[in-house]
Amino acid sequence: MGDRITIPGTYVAETELTASDLNANLRDNMSNIDAGYGCRVATTTTQTFATATWTALTFDAETFDDDVMHSNVTNNSRITIKSDGRYLIIGSAKFRYSNTVNRALAIYKNGAVVFVNGTFPPYAADFDWVNIVCVLPLEADDYIELYGYHTRGLNYDVYDRSLSVTKYI
């Protein structure tokens, strides 16, 4: 997959275009524009974490991973960026319902918080889904993580969860 756009040279009226020029400056650029790639990870297990503590959520399954951006074993909370660009990041987590517990998600870049979705107030339902979406400019070797937070006062479980990082520019 391409990951860069070629800047065409300047042509004058007498310049003869060759197949090579058209391929490099038109065909390949169109392919690269549409060659978004990324990684979506999920989980098959429940994760328990402490109250009032931002905790990295872990992932042990991949829906897709176009560029070896995630490991199910080593640093399995991370998706590591392979090329510079703007990325669409979507995180989701399912918590057991509670009419007394606030829940929140945050996107971390290189171990520091960069985006928080706010705190979701208590809600009485079977399960509460909390979602977060943002766009970030990222560079090669940056890593993204999804963090969870709750105010239960005791340990709390997060069930299904996923994190998707997709390059679009």
Partnered with residue 49 across adjacent β-strands are 156
* CATH code, 48: 2.60.120.40
98 and 163 inside one domain? yes
For the chain, how many structural domains are there in total? 2
Q: Rounded to whole angstroms, how far apart are CA atoms 39 and 69?
A: 7
| 151, 55 Cβ separation under 8 angstroms | no
Task: Identify whether residues 80 and 155 lie together within a single domain.
Answer: yes
Same domain, 17 and 79: no
Per-residue pLDDT reduced to its tens digit, 130-142: 889 999 999 999 9
Residue 127 domain boundaries:
38-167
Instruction: Provide the pLDDT for residue 6.
Output: 55
What is the predicted pLDDT for the residue at 144? 98
Specify whether 118 is located in the same domain as 96. yes
CA angle 78, 115, 157 (to 5 degrees): 60
Give the model's pLDDT for residue 103.
87
The verdict on 18 and 65 lying in the same domain is no
